[in-house]
């Protein structure tokens, strides 16, 4: 039945729709949504930028674990199913990372911005990205449903945890916050030491530690003109890319060193870049 659903969707196949759904599926990649972390952190809402990044990283962690546990094969090569743009389909099939990532991102956005336009954009994005994975023949329908449901669970849990943190009156010392930011991601890596988990949990650790240090000592703000915000994104993202590339060539290509690269990248996002922006007068610092 699942194969029949994909084949029915692919009855609409034509070159224009091929390019359209390839574009849509690229917008549902984790790379695209990770651009939201520095965008919000540097330019819109620092705390929400951290939260959005951590929720996305948590969702990817869960997705990676489930894929490697279930080991469901993709429909690529299945008789009668046309699979294109297969470079977007690494690893196992269930659950769909694109559907899960898109739902995680827009679900978190809808909680934050409870507006009609956000809901319309979110639901539209989830539907289109999910449909693109079936049209391209790289996922089964159950992968899509599973990805969406898992994402909704991740978002709900994240909102509950966030509300508990906001309502908590206990002021944890900086040193304990840093220790937790190291221990929790490290524990998750040890629990399921898959390649991607080294990178994404290290990124979460570095970003969180930098956020706590900034919040304690510097309290950088995000306010600036549109021109200044664009400058921050260009400078910040360019240096972030350089850091990852340079460290990749300087360090052995192993899981541990890949994790270290992303840890440094996380520190850059949360404290290195804001510090540079302040020196360049691209950030207005609180007195």
Among 29-43, 164-178, 247-261, the range of highest mean pLDDT: 247-261
Span 222-240, average pLDDT: 89
Q: Which of 143, 169, 195 is the last residue before a domain boundary? A: 169
Q: How confident is the model at residue 286 (pLDDT cuts 50, 70, 90)?
A: very low
Query: Does 157 lie in the same domain as 48?
Result: yes
Q: Which of 169, 197, 223 is the last residue before a domain boundary? A: 169
Q: How confident is the model at residue 14 (pLDDT cuts 50, 70, 90)?
A: confident
Condensed to tens digits (0 to 9), the pLDDT of residues 94-148 reads: 999 999 999 999 999 999 998 999 999 999 999 999 999 999 999 999 999 999 9
Query: Does 133 lie in the same domain as 12?
Result: yes
Condensed to tens digits (0 to 9), the pLDDT of residues 27-52 reads: 888 778 778 888 999 999 999 999 99
Residues 6+ apart with CB under 8 A from 102: 28, 33, 125, 126, 129, 130, 151
Q: What is the pLDDT of residue 37?
A: 84
Per the structure, how many domains does the chain have? 2
Alpha helix positions (H), the chain: 2-9, 15-27, 30-34, 36-39, 46-70, 97-112, 116-135, 141-167, 174-191, 195-213, 226-250, 255-267, 273-279
Query: Does 181 lie in the same domain as 140?
Result: no
Residues 6+ apart with CB under 8 A from 194: 64, 65, 68
Query: Does 33 lie in the same domain as 118?
Result: yes
Largest CA distance in the chain: 66
Q: Answer whether 26's CB lies under 8 Å from 129's CB.
A: no
67, 72, 136, 75: which is closest to 100 by C-alpha? 67
Averaged pLDDT score across all residues of the chain: 90
One-character DSSP codes across 229-253: HHHHHHHHHHHHHHHHHHHHHHS-S
Cα separation, 179 vs 269, in Å, equals: 19
């Amino acid at each position: 039945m699942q194969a029949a659903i994909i084949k029915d969707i692919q009855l609409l196949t034509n070159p224009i729709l091929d390019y359209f759904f390839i574009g849509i599926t690229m917008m549902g990649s984790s790379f695209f949504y990770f651009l939201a972390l520095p965008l919000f952190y540097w330019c819109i809402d620092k705390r929400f930028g951290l939260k959005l990044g951590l929720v996305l990283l948590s969702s990817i962690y869960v997705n990676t674990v489930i894929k490697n546990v279930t080991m469901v094969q993709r429909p690529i090569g299945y008789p009668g199913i046309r699979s294109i743009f297969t470079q977007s389909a690494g690893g196992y099939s269930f659950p769909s990372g694109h559907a899960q990532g898109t739902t995680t991102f827009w679900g978190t956005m809808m909680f934050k911005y409870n507006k009609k336009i956000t809901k319309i954009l979110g639901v539209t994005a989830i539907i289109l990205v999910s449909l693109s994975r079936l049209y391209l023949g790289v996922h089964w329908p159950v992968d899509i449903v599973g990805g969406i449901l898992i994402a909704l669970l991740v978002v709900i849990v994240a909102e509950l945890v966030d509300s508990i943190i906001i309502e908590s009156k206990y002021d944890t010392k900086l040193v304990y916050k840093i220790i937790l930011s190291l221990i929790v991601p490290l524990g998750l890596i040890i629990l399921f030491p898959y390649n991607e988990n080294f990178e994404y949990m290290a990124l979460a650790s570095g970003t969180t530690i930098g956020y706590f240090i900034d919040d304690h000592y510097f309290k950088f703000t995000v306010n600036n003109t549109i021109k200044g915000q664009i400058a921050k994104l260009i400078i910040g993202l360019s240096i972030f890319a350089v850091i990852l590339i340079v460290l990749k060539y300087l360090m052995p290509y192993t899981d541990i060193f890949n994790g270290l690269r992303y840890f440094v990248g996380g520190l850059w996002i949360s404290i290195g870049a804001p510090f540079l922006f302040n020196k360049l007068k691209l950030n207005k610092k609180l007195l």
